[in-house]
Amino acid sequence: MRMRPTLSWTPTEDLPSGTTDPKPVADALSAGGVLVLSGAGISTESGIPDYRGEGGSLNRHTPMTFQDFTSSTQARRRYWARSHLGWRTFGRARPNAGHRAVAAFGRHGLLSGVITQNVDGLHQAAGSEGVVELHGSLARVVCLSCGAVSPRRELARRLEEANAGFEPVAAEINPDGDADLTDEQVGDFRAVPCTVCGGILKPDVVFFGETVPPLRVEHCRRLVREATSLLVLGSSLTVMSGLRFVRQAAQAHKPVLIVNLDPTRGDRHALTRVALPLGTTLTSVADRLGIPVDGQATA
């Protein structure tokens, strides 16, 4: 039985204060073998809001759950209307300094891998290779009946054709690419079926309330086992999908370092939490290590 998602976390213990000294991060990277685990906070400087930080989307928005999506035609209509509009903005987002710094660390052989909880593809656009998309990618669509996978851009074209004149103005865009629309704005928006079997289409992402595929989880666990240290970037670690890897690293006595402005659920397992903005912090770390951060991102 799937449970309702964990949307918030309140500390139940005194946590160590964050530092403004990024030297421990630079030291870990200089030793090599660092596994990066990134969350929504690394993409805020690209114009994509996070979930739980100041001004985070969960203050005004409850994400679609897997249970609601699969059980309600109206919920799917609402989701696809909001997601279709959000995709226009979301798809135009470009990597920021944080993404580019991670890619530069990888190019210089300092990383053992990158796991991201994000679905925006910005690590890959910045040049990172072998990125594990823990929660999937909005760039793909999957049929829940036959399993056919297709490009999101193809679905966008079909939705445009099926909903000519659909041009509402969204109040906000959320980290999952969902736009804030009222029921009136959604109106009678038409979702489209799978072109192979006529089944229900879903973005190839792990919804709240859905489980990450076991093989993907085991792949990430292996990356943790092989890493020298774990560097968490821009994640509150509220949900277990990311927190379990922090716990695994700590139990194996591997250093855990976190860069996040706000306290996280993983702080008690961490060597340090650097409470500074990600883009400037990672760029300064790259400067300390003599690593240039390429300002050019791929399309």
28, containing H or E segment: helix 23-31
> Out of 169-173, 177-181, 206-210, 236-240, which region has the weakest mean confidence (pLDDT)?
169-173
Res 116 pLDDT > 80: yes
Q: Which two tokens stand for residue 62?
A: 């409850």
Binding residues: 39-59, 117-120, 143, 146, 194, 197, 234-236, 278
Res 88 pLDDT > 90: no
Which is catalytic among the residues 61, 99, 123, 135? 135
Binding residues for NAD(+): 39-59, 117-120, 234-236, 278
* Average pLDDT along the chain: 88
Q: Cβ distance 124 to 98 under 8 Å?
A: no
Res 123 pLDDT > 70: yes
- Please, where are the H alpha helices in 238-293? 240-251, 278-288
Average of per-residue pLDDT across 128-143: 96
Phi-psi group of 234: left, alpha or beta (phi > 0 → left; psi -120 to 50 → alpha; rest → beta) = left
Q: pLDDT tens digit string along 31-61?
A: 999 999 999 999 999 988 765 455 444 444 5
Give me Rg for the CA atoms of the chain: 19
Binding residues for Zn(2+): 143, 146, 194, 197
Q: How far apart are CA 189 and CA 78, in angstroms?
A: 8
Q: How confident is the model at residue 16 (pLDDT cuts 50, 70, 90)?
A: confident
| Assigned CATH class of 18-48+95-135+211-299 | alpha beta
Q: Where are the beta strands (DSSP E) in the chain?
A: 34-38, 111-116, 132-133, 136-143, 149-151, 201-205, 229-233, 256-259, 272-274
Domain boundaries, the chain: 18-48+95-135+211-299, 61-92+138-205
Q: pLDDT tens digit string along 203-253?
A: 999 998 889 999 999 999 999 999 999 999 999 999 899 999 999 999 999
Percent of the chain residues past pLDDT 70, beyond the cut? 87
Work out the angle at residue 211's Cα, subtended by the Cα atoms of residues 121 and 71, and round it to the nearest 5 degrees: 100
Domain over 61-92+138-205 is classified CATH 3.40.630: no
Average of per-residue pLDDT across 268-290: 96
The verdict on whether 135 is a catalytic residue reads yes
Q: How far apart are CA 119 and CA 142, in angstroms?
A: 14
**CA–CA distances in Å: residue 143 to residues 85, 110, 198, 202, 214:** 20, 38, 9, 6, 19
